Each structure stands twice: as C-alpha cells, then as structure tokens.
Amino acid sequence: MRTELVVAVLLAFAPSAFAGQGTAASYLQGLEREAASLGGFAGFSAARGERFFKTVRGDWACATCHTKDPLDAGQHARTGRDIAPLAPAANPERFADARKTDKWFRRNCNDVLGRSCTALEKGDVLVWLMSLK
C-alpha cells in the first residue's frame, strides 16, 4: 500500500516521464475537454454510451464485433478475426495509446455510423466501458 502511494505521488509530479503512454482515464479527460468546448456539455453518461454501443445502424453496431459484453473477446463480423476484449478491466491496454485509439475510433465509427463519432459519443462509450468489471 505504501509503495503504491509513493508511485502515485511520483506519477502526479512527473507526467512528462510517461508522455508516450497514456491511460484510459487520460484519454477520457481529453474527450471531456473537447466535449466541453462545444457548449451544452452536461457530462458523459454510461447508460447513453451502452445504448449507443448496442444500437444497430445499417448492418452493424459496435456490439456486432465487440459483443454485447465487452469483457468478452469479440470477432470481426466479416473476416472472423479474433478481437481482444474492449473493456479496460479485461484488457488493460485498451485506450492507453491515444494514437491507436484515435485510429480505431476513426475506422470503426466510419464502419458503423458512416461518419466520425463526436467527443460526446466517444466519452459516453468510454465511461460505460470503464464501468464494466
């Protein structure tokens, strides 16, 4: 417990040492800033994120490949390729690399919605995913 406290204090004062490696929480903070800058932002909602994730649009929902329970591994709807679990509790790498996360939001929102997801939509989904244990 003492070691964790020391590490937490060091991390709080040395963010630049970890510039290359973020966390799901830091990615969420970035989304929060973006959503807030657009006006009318009243916070993210896990319930809204869950609905968004499971809503089928055209052929697919996010859940089509990532499954309705993102603690589970998924499968690509077309190629059959395995997809590691999306929820950070099941897969701690998720959302820790901002560029990788940006890339996959870009690709997969285009696949499912035919457009980019808004910061609000991404934040809602991420808040829901982070709530899964």
Partner 1 sequence: MARLDRHFGTDASVEPALAARIGAYLRAHAGAARRFGSASRISETAWFREEHDDVARATWKAPAVRSAANCSACHTQAARGDFSERHLTLPMETRR
Which residues contribute to the site for partner 1 (CB under 8 A)? 75-76, 78-82, 103, 106-108, 110-111
Pair of tokens at residue 29: 């903070």
Q: How far is the CB of 81 from partner 1 (least distance, A)?
A: 5
For partner 1, the closer of residues 36 and 97 by Cβ is 97
Closest distance of CB 10 from partner 1, Å: 33
**Of residues 4 and 82, the one with the C-beta less far from partner 1:** 82
**Beta-carbon neighbour count of residue 8 at 10 Å?**
9
Q: Which is nearer to partner 1, 73 or 132 (CB)?
A: 73
Cβ neighbours, 10 Å, residue 5: 9
Shortest distance (Å) from residue 70 CB to partner 1: 18
User: What gap in Å lies between CA 126 and CA 12, rounded to an integer?
Assistant: 23
Dist CA 71 CA 84 (whole Å):
9
